Structure 1
């Protein structure tokens, strides 16, 4: 089978997921191409995984001139594909316009599958544009895969023909290279429990809530909050941390997340919306207690292996965290449940077999 992936600007889970699918499909003898910005090839090395790569500027914001160029480029580069699998709303809409414009939908080839990894959270003009793109995806994709039930409901309401759950596993967690004591010493934790958050420093991740949680009050020794990730809010968050003297460390991008997980007492996620966050999958696989916002795909991902709190409820999040840190028996029970859930999560082979089933179903459409 000839599969062409279309991806937009990404530095995180979406790019890693596509890399996983590329590796699995190539290993099974399929021909794979990836179309997207040069930055994704630099970050994820799709050629190294066995795919052809073609650079097309699929940006993360509307840009009429570049978008028209991208539509024509995608049309040309995917004309021989049996299945075009776009990842993300912008990539999905541009691929939908490209395939429809080429007249290939009526010819029965080049079936379009779109995986939506995130919800629409922007407002104003940008929100309006993204609403239009949602309708393009819903009406032109043969199959829409979603990472959370709310996305599925929205796509169905917008008229999508076939909607199914996406299988988006985290890669196998590598062993820690350093001891927890070494990590704690680096961070200056002393005798304080370490609370870890992994995520991009962006509005979606709910760092307003995390800073309120960190502000306490806490009984001594107060926890130290460590955030692994980079993003546009770094300067603003660092200033707020400095002004309020909060016990929060912004660690930037890290390549030692398994080490941080091994040293952490608990993993916290305060996001306003998430699909299937790889950071929480990794926390579960590491057997760490998880406290997270009850949004998007998190309730399914965590199951009964963690504590879920409504988005924005800093007091509820702080109370759940106090309980885990103060009662070793609760922490131990949560850690055991997390490890069990981590073992139940799908792996890369499950993801590849799932998309192959979707591709065959899409190609069978008359």
Structure 2
């Protein structure tokens, strides 16, 4: 099977990581996989070195990786022509758009094969009226969480398949962590955007470090992620005990170094970084918002706190890091929770969907000839 996935750009966001991981899994299973980015990373404010690393990794895994280099996202005709040229070379059996932006040029390119759309969030990033067009182009939608499925049900007029996100096996820890350590590293991972609400983590950092200092401990609080709002966050972080690492290609190594994972988002779809953290055996402190609630069970693999509440976030982090027996139990719970999210299972579910859609498009076989004449009156 030839599978073409489309993203906005090659960046370290969760959707993009999932697409590249799936492409590797497809290629490893003997399929022809290609990932097309609509724009270069620099054209949309993302890190070119991360783009280069992701493209190189996809190619090393046996998949094609290319960018259409579209500078103007509203140039639908130019985008359609560039996309059509790329699809002519790839000759896909199925196309999976992981960005709603891809559907407009796809509508003009008229690929003639099944089209799937995954919306990777529990909120819409486009007007609901756009579904009038999407429903004409899309053969099936994919929801990455229960909340995303509920959202799509309100607008989609084509089948919706629930396929949970997954993370690369390179994050998998073999054993749970037994203790938080004297001077823990606290890690947040994700694109720097309003959705991630990193200012709440900045405001929680000082009371946390002061409470740990009272125990004779120190903490390293790190945010790994880039994006158009990175410089603004860096200006806000001046004087706070937080390290901004920027976009990183070694998140798996950072997870192994870390002692606690934190997510302070205002909303989510189903964060890949949180799955990676659970696979790494990290207890998780996260905001009680859609997506996060489906991953974190309080007292089992982490803690949930109200969004935009620095005091509650700092207290939950402190409590998790201050009780070794509780910490160890949460680490074991994280590893158990992560078992649901294997990239192999996720890839198999996608391949099953593609096969069904391809089969549905094939012409029906002619009915077998009748063994005797049939009267019109019968």
What is the rounded CA distance, in whole Å, between the counterparts of 1:295 and 1:23 in structure 2? 31
Report the equivalent of 1:316: 312
Paired residues of 1:197 and 1:267 also in contact (CA < 8 A): yes
Query: Are residue 64 (structure 1) and residue 74 (structure 2) matched?
Result: yes
Q: Deviations over 1:200-222 (max 9, x none)?
A: 22222111211121132642416
What is the rounded CA distance, in whole Å, between the counterparts of 1:348 and 1:36 in structure 2? 21
- Deviating more after overlay: 328-337 vs 32-41: 32-41
Report the equivalent of 2:48: none
Normalising by structure 2, we get a TM-score of 0.77
Query: Are residue 200 (structure 1) and residue 209 (structure 2) matched?
Result: no
Report the equivalent of 1:249: 243
Secondary structure of 1:173's aligned partner: helix
Paired residues of 1:37 and 1:57 also in contact (CA < 8 A): yes
CA shift in 2, pair 1:240/1:166, >3 Å: same
Shift of residue 119 of structure 1?
A: 4.5
Shift of residue 193 of structure 1?
A: 3.2
Paired residues of 2:10 and 2:37 also in contact (CA < 8 A): no
Paired residues of 1:116 and 1:145 also in contact (CA < 8 A): yes
Alignment equivalent of 1:162, drawn from 156, 159, 166: 159
Paired residues of 1:307 and 1:320 also in contact (CA < 8 A): yes
Report the equivalent of 1:147: 144
Report the equivalent of 1:90: 101
Query: Are residue 289 (structure 1) and residue 283 (structure 2) matched?
Result: yes
- Deviating more after overlay: 309-318 vs 350-359: 309-318
Report the equivalent of 2:359: 364
Secondary structure of 2:308's aligned partner: coil
What is the rounded CA distance, in whole Å, between the counterparts of 1:191 and 1:26 in structure 2? 43
Q: Deviations over 1:129-158 (max 9, x none)?
A: xx4445433443111112222322222211
Alignment of 1:140-289 (within 5 A): 140-173=137-170, 192-216=183-207, 218-221=210-213, 223-242=219-238, 245-289=239-283
Report the equivalent of 2:21: 20
Q: Deviations over 1:63-92 (max 9, x none)?
A: 322x22112333454364321111122124
What is the rounded CA distance, in whole Å, between the counterparts of 2:66 and 2:334 in structure 1? 40
Count of residues in Structure 1 that have an aligned counterpart in Structure 2:
335
CA shift in 2, pair 1:158/1:293, >3 Å: same
Alignment equivalent of 2:83, drawn from 74, 79, 83: 74
CA shift in 2, pair 1:54/1:330, >3 Å: closer
Q: Deviations over 1:83-108 (max 9, x none)?
A: 11111221244324533xx6x3xxxx
Alignment equivalent of 2:293, drawn from 296, 299, 308: 299
Report the equivalent of 2:119: 116
CA shift in 2, pair 1:69/1:163, >3 Å: same
Greater C-alpha radius of gyration: 2
Shift of residue 58 of structure 1?
A: 5.2
Q: Deviations over 1:193-242 (max 9, x none)?
A: 33221222222211121112113264241643221222333332222222
Report the equivalent of 1:50: 62
CA shift in 2, pair 1:298/1:135, >3 Å: farther
CA shift in 2, pair 1:330/1:84, >3 Å: same
CA shift in 2, pair 1:295/1:94, >3 Å: farther
Paired residues of 1:93 and 1:133 also in contact (CA < 8 A): no
Q: RCO (CA 8 Å, sep 6+): is it higher in 1 or 2?
A: 2
CA shift in 2, pair 1:17/1:246, >3 Å: same
- Return 5+ residue gaps in structure 2 as ranges: 42-50, 362-378
Secondary structure of 1:235's aligned partner: helix
What is the rounded CA distance, in whole Å, between the counterparts of 1:266 and 1:57 in structure 2? 38
Secondary structure of 2:273's aligned partner: helix
